[in-house]
Structure 1
Amino acid sequence: MHYSRTALALTLAGLTATANAQLEEVVVTAQKVESSLQDTPIAITAFTSDTLEALGAVNATDIGDFSPNVSIVKTFGSAGNIRTNIRGVSTGDPSLAVDPKVGLYVDGAYIARNAGAVFDIVDLERIEILRGPQGTLWGKNTTGGAINIITKKPTGEFGFKQALTFGNFGEFRSLTSVDTNEYAGLSAKLSYYLNDNDGWAKNSNPEGESDLGSIDTDAFRIALRWDINEQFSVDYAYDYNEFDAVPIPLQITHLGPGATDPGILGAFNLPDSTFYPGYNPLNEMLSVLEPDDRVERFNLDGNTVEHTEISGHNLTLVWEGDAITIKSITAYRDYESELPGNDLDGGSWTFNGESIPMFHAENEKEQDQFSQEFQFIGSALDARLDYVAGLFYFEEEGQELNPWDAMFYLNDPSRPVLLRGLGAAAGSWYAIDNESIAAYGQLKYYFNDSWDITLGLRYTEDEKKITLLDEDPRIDGPHTASDDWNKFTTDLVVGWQYSDDIRFYGKRAEGYNAGVFSLGALNHLDYTDFEVFDTPADPEEITSWEVGMKSEWLDRSLRLNVAAYFNDNENLQVTEVVNGVRTVRNSGENESYGLEVDFVSLIGAGFTLEGAYGYRKTDFDEGDDFGRSDGKHSGRLSVAWGTDTGLGYVDARIDTTYTDAQNFSSSPYGNSEDRTLIGARVGLSEIQLGDYGQLRAAIWGRNLTDEEYKEYGQDLGSNQGLGYAGNSFGTPRTYGIDITYEY
């Protein structure tokens, strides 16, 4: 197996410099067919396998800062949950009842949940980030965008790869993969991945786990390819991820004014609501309050190890005729996680020798999903008309048991009934049963060599059912709510090929997310009142207008892509903590707009310069801004260099990313902070081992300035005076070495 030396000068967009100092073409599948990045009328950033290796990326969270107007972060409370924000559209709610606003796809199969979305993907070929609503071609309608993950397929030639990574905080990664020779059209690729990390924060309390943020992963993947004949091929893949992890710790960064109120009355979450007159738990939390600096030592008595297992099957059949290609994608995924205890109150609290958790939680989730998609791809009218049509079916079942041990408090002792109602039980115990079907089609007509038009249409039906389970101690027997929605969404794109190297497009696209049931919407004074629970939040709908330019200049040594967009948003679904209850609300009508720039340039002497800039702003109707109307900036700038030496090929790169502050709720507290992160990598490759393959090695560092920044957060009632806000902080400086042997 030969490792391309030019790949080591890749830009973050997956571009390389060739021998004649021109940028190589990047091929993407953002519109169901392979096409050049420059010919695809959509704002997209693509990361090749070599770029992902240079960045140390093994899952989607590792590349969020490298695409304009994109943020992908892990949330606290679980090692497997993510929050993805594209153009200001997102949700970080890990509930199985809340659909993500950004679709995640692995080899064309939709991954339905934010929960469990952080899993190491063995043998990545490419990741594509599609910005803007995806309402026509992709499996599930989404309003924010899509992340398309493509894995490596069997090559049909024998090959072996062993990659090792050693880093600080006890980091060790190992990837072993073997390609088999083709026999009777059948070939295979077998991969095994191991990832151990001790975490960067420590816990001193013997009642809790000591390594906070640690993870121990075992994953493997089996990929089979059968080329039955020149027209018909079969791809099957099975992937399995198992990891034990301790969630990232929550650091207390703000306390409500009730923290210094001597009249606070506390009630512990027991069936009889034990009261603690004169005890103010918020006052106790003053001892761990740290609003700005990263805390690396904690005293947590309620955190445990989370065990997660994720597996998936993907069967893809492709028949290629003279004028049409028919594809079938059948996928099944299973997700299970168990977290016996999670400490979300920042410390260990006692009253008269009795342990009193401010907020401890348990969590047990399971979800399985099945999807089937048929695609029909072809051309007609002497290749003047390209078309894509498809049918999509999706179903899922799941349940979550999420009891809380929590302290409730009030500065009015005359209202014990309310406290007793709250103290009787807290958390969520529910099951989901969802179904979605869709039919879609897209036509692209070429008027001439310069002008083309694309029309897309999709019809979607969604059915959702949610059941409060018998395990919920607040209710007598299960209670079920259900609803259904349907929607036509359209796309219209006009393209103008100004020259061989410059293309403009104008686009109108629609996106839609089905309605959402709010798990927390129970009447705490009357648990027989389900009126609010039975009424879901309305569907979220976005209509987007976008204009863009895809261009190459200076004999294709400079690539510059620009997109400007305007979104008309209706009923954005926002998850808020209201009176201690997690509730999904609609934001009403609002407008958002932004600008995105990507560029890469070969600047001579082996140097490549590349970067990106994103700006977005949302204007909400009065009273509906949810604290999110400020303009936000993001950007990156990188320099890569490479040259031949007598020993091999030397390459180096420096990556700088900027991400503006993020708002996670209407509260001014618990939000993230702006950050500038610097990473670097220096490597030596093409070290020949005679007839026995090649060796390459690299040293790397990330967050080299050891920036202390809030990455994710939540306000748990501090904006209402009687609660607190907390944040998880980003990873400190990390560094290590990669060693890879390939044959």
Structure 2
Amino acid sequence: PAAEESTGGIEDIVVTAQRRSESVQDVPIAISAFSADQLRNQGVSNTLELGRFVPNLVSMNNTGIGSANAFYLRGLGNTETIPTFDPPVGTYVDDIYLSRQNANNINLFDVERVEVLRGPQGTLFGRNTTGGAVNVILKEPGSEFGGFAEIGYGRFDKKVARGSMDIPLAESLSIKVSGYWQNDDGFTKNVTTGQRINDDDGWGARLGIRGELSPSVRWNGSYAHIVANGENILNFQCNPGDPDDCKGRFATTGIPSGKSSADSPFASLPISGRKKNFLMGNYTTTDLVTSNLEFDVAEHATLNLITGFISQDQTYALDFYDGRSGPSLANPVPPVRGYVRGGFAILNDSQHEQFSQEVKLNGSFADGLVDYVAGAFYLVEKNRTDFADTFTLSPTTTLLLADRIMRNKTEALAGYAQADVNVTEQIKLTAGIRYTDETKSVDVRDNRASCNDGTVEATCMNTANLIGPSGLKVPDKLKAKIWTPRFAVNFKATDDILLFASATRGFKSGGWNARATAANAFLPFGPEKVWSYETGVKSDWLDNRVRANVTLFYTDVSDLQTPSALVNPNGSATFITRNFADMTNKGIEAELTVVPVDGLNLYVNAGYQDAKYKIDRNAPDFDEYGIQSVNAQQRACQALLAAGNIPGGTGTTAACGAGIVTPEGGIADPTRTPDWTIAFGGSYELELGSNGMSLVPSVNASYRSSQETNAANYTIYSGSITGTNGTYPANPYDGDIITGSFSPAAWFVNANLALNGADKKWQLSIACTNCFNETAANTSLVNTRYIDQPMTWMARARYNF
């Protein structure tokens, strides 16, 4: 069973963090595990909301794209969805790795459990897990007929329907049919078009199959089709056109919402393909096939053939400037224009396919002296991205910054092995290793007519023109061959106390700065590598009534990949990603669970971290592609400041408040690394008489301290300022926050009240998320702040059969 409940104590969750089934308390890894009941009691309906419960985890919707999550664990994360970037926190569904972040905001409507593994998992989970992994395990078909049906209604006219049914077809064969549908009006009012935006519509269906093909052969497979239409479009607490109107959320972009139309405002521009007819919105369609065929190959050994296939289409048109220009010191609050083509817009039409095959062997030998897991892994991913960037200067003037098709492919082979030597009943030594051989390739073709008339000008975004400012050709292939070991020691002091220490290496693939709109900025960046050192204790006390887990960690990151963006003098945006620096992070994570009496469950989770960049002070002023080093950039910024210039003003945007150099000329704090993350709450099941009914109230609160959300820590504050490069109506130092990187500390509260029928056959519940309507920003883009969703409530009725 995936979860078992000890009588009168804390639920013991069985996890697969080491690619085999073990109690979460026996795994020498910092891991937060949530059963289906815990997720429901804590109001977690999708993977985005995990960030309010896991120490040192910050999660957010990507800018614009509501179906995509960016996870930052211990300071390692990535906000990009374009397929030349890989996320350092991997998302897995039933052991199948999701390469893309485009639609990883997974609806948790029929899951067995969710595991959040903190720290690099490069030995057993592979590439791109330098920060950790989010592992979603879906419920297998049951051996008896049963299931549930649920409907709900909530704020913003949100309607939800969910259901699942287990159907035994034979004694050794069962299927599960499940699905969900949701629709809402959106929490943001577009005062220009009169439409509501930032909705979260979609539906999904899943067919699961579980069969015992023979006494020694088992198969578990599934097919899921998921359609998501969710946005995270720039919006504001007060109406930009009427600042006194602060009742709701507002946007002013002139792009009408919808999927596609011949009347699209982009149709008259020289944009190729069907994307020229897109309207405002984000649409993804995902097909996910998983198969796990298990064989008993010996008395103490099992072999698994794990196969995954993912096909995903994504289309969107998104305005990142709300129908106007980007904020700057000279123009901190751009006037509302309502440009029908938006301000800075990206049109995207992409297709992604991924196939993976893993062969995994689990077992033990020498009468249990050695437990092992070993295997081989193959992945091939193919992507086609047709995308265009536009910047609107006036109602009649829109610049087509770039229009290109990019095809890129990843092929990776890996082999891994890990052995646990049970030296004594108390001491276990672990050693593991993984070898990865990976090749990436990219090809770019400019869609503009002048680049397809038989000649290719130097300004065309074609592969042949990808040459850095220094004149060095950008490679169209990147190769990586790397070993990622793990070492650990466990000491089982008692049956209820585990002490452990470990050292683990991980790496994240390199890639290309595909957001570039000029050929000489389409530059490569190298792999990101990390060593993580942990020590901790996992313990149960007072007859399993108290659980206390504590982990101390130190992370040493080499060649950190850092996406950065800045506002150009004309108001458009420039994107650049480089291995700007190394980084260290150290901290502590604690999770305390208490069940003082039956029915009452209390918890406190807390994380502290101290992340710092490390700069190579001996680096040359320019790298091989002609890009200035951080050391040289910082010197240039400090020289400008010494001359009386205001950072962010004329002549300083390339040196001060750019990359990871702050406006003050210092080195920035790493993004999304709040010093403190704290979550606490609980639930109590109150029996109502002798009829079997119960009332279950639950409250969950979370806190994070202040953080920076922009690589350069650039924030625009109120208060005019004068320097040698001009006078500006705002400043980059202090005052009231207008927009930008700095995000103050924030509290969030979720609450739920459920009435259960006899034997929990039915349930009525009412829940609120962000109950006090707090506002905070977890991300920003080119001086704009993307704030969290407002308060929502949902009433549900559920019937179990």
TM-score (norm 2): 0.78
How much does 1:223 deviate? 0.3
Q: Tell me whether 1:213 sits opposite 2:198 in the alignment.
A: yes
* Deviation (angstroms), 1:427: 6.0
Which residue, 514, 517, 538 being the options, matches 2:512?
A: 517
* Residue 354 of structure 1: how far off its partner (Å): 8.3
Question: What residue is the counterpart of 1:249 in the other structure?
Answer: 233
What letter matches 2:306 in structure 1? I
Matched to 2:156, the amino acid is: F
Cα 1:100–1:351 shift into 2, 3 Å: closer
Structure 1, residues 309-361: CA drift from partner, whole Å, max 9, x if none? 1111111100123121000111100110112x322222468999986743122
2:498 alignment partner in structure 1? 503
| Letter paired with 1:679 | N
Partner of 2:625: none
**Contact kept? 1:293, 1:708, Cα under 8 Å:** no
> What is the CA distance between 1:443 and its match in structure 2?
0.5
Separation of aligned partners in 2, 1:222 and 1:351: 48
Q: Which residue in 1 is equivalent to 2:60?
A: 73
**In 2 relative to 1, CA 605–445 (structure 1 residues): closer, same or farther, beyond 3 Å?**
closer
- What is the distance in 2 between the residues matched to 1:98 and 1:584? 10
Equivalent residue, structure 1, for 2:784: 726
Alpha-carbon shift at residue 710 of structure 1 (Å): 1.9
- In the alignment, which of 320, 324, 330 is matched to residue 301 of structure 2? 324
- Native 8 Å contact 2:478 2:511 kept in 1: no
Mean CA deviation greater in 659-668 or 77-86 = 659-668
Is 1:650 equivalent to 2:720 in the alignment? no
| Structure 1: distance between partners of 2:221 and 2:240 | 55
Are residues 428 and 295 of structure 1, via their aligned partners in 2, closer, same or farther at CA, if it must alter by over 3 Å? Answer: farther
Equivalent of 2:117 in 130, 142, 156: 130
Alignment partner of 1:199 is 2:221: no
1:502–1:345 distance in 2 versus 1, CA, 3 Å: same
1:289-326 per-position Cα deviation (integer Å, ceiling 9, x unaligned)? 99x98961222212523222111111110012312100
Alignment of 1:48-127 (within 5 A): 48-127=35-114
Q: Report the counterpart of residue 301 of structure 1 in structure 2.
A: 254
Residue aligning to 1:361: 346
Alignment partners' CA distance in 1, 2:442 and 2:283: 25
Structure 1 vs Structure 2 CA RMSD: 2.9
Cα distance in 2 between the residues matched to 1:92 and 1:343: 17
- With over 3 angstroms needed to count, the CA separation of the structure-2 counterparts of 1:732 and 1:437, relative to structure 1, is same
SS of equivalent to 2:51: helix
Partner-residue secondary structure (3-state), 2:40: helix
Q: Is the counterpart of residue 546 in structure 1 residue 534 in structure 2?
A: yes
Instruction: Give the structure 2 partner of residue 437 of structure 1.
Output: 413
Q: Is the 8 A contact 1:253 1:289 kept in 2?
A: no
Q: Is the aligned partner of 1:237 residue 2:213?
A: no
Gap change, CA 1:517 and 1:738, over 3 Å in 2:
same
Change (3 A) 1:251 1:174: closer
Q: Equivalences for 1:310-459 in 2 at 5 Å?
A: 310-320=286-296, 321-339=298-316, 341-347=317-323, 357-407=342-392, 425-426=401-402, 429-459=405-435
Change (3 A) 1:15 1:592: farther
CA distance in 1, matches of 2:426, 2:493: 7
Are the equivalent residues in 1 in contact too, given 2:206–2:223 (CA < 8 A)?
A: yes
Q: Secondary structure of the equivalent of 2:156? A: coil
Q: Is 2:557 the partner of 1:569? A: yes
Change (3 A) 1:466 1:164: same
Shift of 1:644: 1.7
One-letter amino acid of the counterpart of residue 546, structure 2: L
- Could you tell me which amino acid in structure 2 is paired with residue 145 of structure 1? G
Aligned residue-pair number:
664
Rate the CA distance shift 1:71–1:250 in 2: closer, same or farther, 3 A.
Answer: same
Alpha carbons 1:542, 1:568 under 8 Å: kept: yes
Distance 1:148 1:211 in 2: 34
Q: Aligned in 2, Cα 1:152/1:211: closer, same or farther, shift over 3 Å?
A: same
What is the CA–CA distance in structure 2 between the aligned matches of 1:122 and 1:240, rounded to whole Å? 14
- Aligned partners of 1:311 and 1:333 also within 8 Å: yes
Counterpart pick for 1:628 among 657, 667, 670: 670
State whether structure 2 residue 757 is matched by structure 1 residue 686.
Answer: yes
**How far 1:489 sits from its partner (Å)?**
0.8
Change (3 A) 1:726 1:23: same
CA distance in 2, matches of 1:288, 1:520: 34
CA distance in 2, matches of 1:231, 1:354: 65
Deviations 1:159-194 (A, max 9, x none): 131012221111121112111124152210001211
Structure 1 residues 344, 644: closer, same or farther in 2, change over 3 A? same
Shift of 1:288: 7.9
d(CA) in 1 for partners of 2:405, 2:461: 13
Q: Does 1:560 align with 2:548?
A: yes
> Alpha-carbon deviations, 1:601-634, whole Å to 9, x = none?
1123742221110011112225554432875210
Match in the other structure for 1:273:
none
Counterpart residue identity of residue 147, structure 2: F
1:663 maps to 708
Shift in alpha-carbon separation, 1:353–1:105, aligned structure 2, 3 A: closer
Query: What SS does the aligned partner of 1:61 have?
Result: helix
Q: Distance in 1 between matches of 2:478 and 2:236?
A: 39
Contact 2:89 2:128 in 1 (8 A): no
Report the Cα distance in structure 2 between the residues aligned to 1:555 and 1:352, rounded to whole angstroms. Answer: 65
Structure 1 gaps, min length 5: 8-13, 255-284, 410-419, 717-724
Question: Match of 2:347, as an amino acid?
Answer: E
1:62 offset after TM fit, Å?
2.1
Report the equivalent of 1:270. Answer: none
Question: Do the aligned partners of 1:119 and 1:241 also contact (CA within 8 Å) in 2?
Answer: no
SS of the equivalent of 2:129 reads coil
Contact 1:294–1:729 (CA<8 Å) still a contact in 2? no
2:602–2:681 contact (8 Å) kept in structure 1? yes
- If asked which structure has higher relative contact order (CA below 8 Å, sep 6+), I would say 1
Q: Any idea what SS the aligned residue of 1:228 has?
A: strand
Contact 1:218 1:243 in 2 (8 A): yes
Change (3 A) 1:64 1:354: closer
C-alpha distance after superposition, 1:110-168 (max 9, x if no partner): 00011222243551111000000011001434200001100000112111310122211
What stretches of structure 2 of length at least 5 have no aligned partner? 258-279, 326-334, 452-458, 465-474, 616-629, 631-659, 661-666, 716-739
Q: Distance in 1 between matches of 2:229 and 2:793?
A: 23
What is the one-letter code of the residue matched to 1:345? Y
SS of match in other structure, 1:425: strand
Check whether the contact 1:315–1:331 (CA below 8 A) recurs between aligned residues. yes
Q: TM-score, length-normalised on structure 1?
A: 0.84
- Please name the residue that 1:536 is paired with: 524
Paired residue type of 1:738: R
Contact 2:324/2:339 (8 A) holds in 1: no
Change (3 A) 1:178 1:734: same
- The 1-side partners of 2:184 and 2:233 are apart by 15
Report how far residue 734 of structure 1 moved: 1.6
Alignment of 1:158-197 (within 5 A): 158-183=145-170, 185-197=172-184
SS of the aligned residue for 2:543 comes to coil
Q: Using the alignment, how far apart are the partners of 1:485 and 1:728 within structure 2?
A: 35
Task: Give a deviation string over 1:404-445, Cα, whole Å, max 9, x none.
Answer: 220479xxxxxxxxxx9x956236641211111100000000
The amino acid that maps onto 2:49 is D
Alignment match, 1:700: 767
Alpha-carbon separation, structure 2, partners of 1:117 and 1:29:
20
Cα pair 1:101 1:142 within 8 Å, conserved = yes
